[in-house]
Structures are given as structure tokens and as C-alpha cells.
Amino acid sequence: MEQFPLFLNLRGRPVVLVGEGEAADAKARLIVRAGGRIVSDWEEGAAVAFVALADEGEARAAAQALRARGLLVNVVDRPDLCDFTTPAIVDRAPVTVAIGTGGASAGLAKAVRQRIEALLPARLGALAPALHLARDAMKSRWPAAADRRRAIDAALASGGALDPLDGDAADKVDAWLAGAVAAQPSRLETIALASADPDDLTLRAARLLGEADHIFHGADVPAAILDRARADAVRHIADAPPADPPPGLSLWIAQP
């Protein structure tokens, strides 16, 4: 990654906005939409600032002054002066999808956003609080965290009981909890790498990496490949696939 993605809680907090015009108005709308309170100069509690000034010298000076106060600064249309950039946003609150290009191409981020907008149902956001309210019930039904994670993953998978692309999924949480859920057996899959380039992964391999609970691999498997796996998947350096894989989905990554 060239930038670290981060969702910042601005609700009720001051956000510095320097400048006027269309660019400043666009940032103002974004700040208000996120619940921030716009101020024109540094104020106690401010963490971020936006600078929308046409003159590069003035913009640079304003950014330096705000940065000296400890703020993270975004300078509109000048990514080389930015501590952070603002992504294109797909809003299904509280579900938010952000697409960034590091300031390289706002047009590309917009195009990707439009594709994702067309995929996600309007009521997707309702599924998040429904699952949040069901946490205690899920812990009761699946006391072990690994079992609970696998059950949720299965329900949220494509075609699953709570498929996020089903606009009515939020209304099905109680029925899912009350229904019969098959036990998840141990399962071992093999991914045969075509190269060290993660872009050469097949769709199936990419999906399995995103779902696996355990990943077994040789020490020389590229980090770029392993980065495509779930962050919470357990990694095991091994010379061969496990004879007795642990519960859930395990992957063996075979080198070319």
C-alpha cells in the first residue's frame, strides 16, 4: 500500500478549512456529512485540516503553519503537499467503502466508486447494526471465536443466509440464528501459484486467500501473495501441506 487507509471519527470535532470557492465548498460538505464542525483556524481538539487555496505559495504556507500545530493536512489538488487524501466514497452508513488512488487520479476513484455503487443494495447498511445487536446471541450459539467467525463467514458468503448483496439480509438475522447450521469440517485446499506476482492469482485463489483460517506455505512464498490473505488468518511456514489440518479452511500454497 502507498497509503494507510483510516476511518476518522470527526463527529462534533473542529475541522480546519482554509479557503473559499467550489473546492472549499466540496470539502465543507464532506466535513458536515461526517459530523465535523468547520472552523477557519486552529482550535483545541482539531486533528485535521483542509486547505483550498488557488495560489500554491499561499497553500504551502498555510499547510506548513497547520502542520506545525500538529494537524494532518489535505491540500486540494496538490497531493505532494498532503498528509492524507480524501477517497471517493460509497455511503451505506454505517457501512462505508472508500476508494483512493493516493491523489493520482480522482477520475479513476470516481469510476470505481460508480461500479461499486451499482452493486451494493441501498439497505446494506442495515445489516451492520442487525449483526451488532445479535452479538450476544452469536456468542451464546458459538462460544468459540473460531467457530463463530466461520459461521458468520459462511452466512455472509455469496449466496449465504446473510449475503450482503441481498437487500433483505438485515431482516434475516434472527432466522439465521434460529436455523440449523451445519458444522464446519476441516478442509484443505491447494493454491498453485503461477508466479510471484499477486496479479496472476486466479479468482478462485484470491477468494480462498480471503476466506482461509490457516495458511501453510514455504518460507520463500512472496509477501505480496500472503498480503492478499485475511489479516487474522494464522500463517504456518511448512515444507508440505498438513496431514491433519485444523478445523475450518486451510490453504497450502504451492510454489511454481
The residue behind cell 500500500 is 1
CA 44 from centre of chain: 30
**94 preceded by cis ω (within 30°)?**
yes
Nearest Cα to 68, choosing from 83, 53, 80, 57? 83
Band the pLDDT of 183: cuts 50, 70, 90.
low
**Cell numbers at residue 208, please?**
480462498
Q: What is the pTM of this model?
A: 0.69
Query: How far apart (Å, rounded) are the C-alpha atoms in residues 224 and 34?
Result: 34
- Angstrom distances, CA of residue 32 to CA of 15, 97, 195, 222: 10, 18, 46, 43
Residue 244 and residue 101: Cα distance in Å, rounded? 43
Q: What is the pLDDT of residues 45-101, one digit of tens each?
A: 999 999 999 999 999 999 999 999 999 999 999 999 999 999 999 999 999 999 999
The whole-angstrom distance between residue 31's C-alpha and the CA centroid of its chain comes to 20
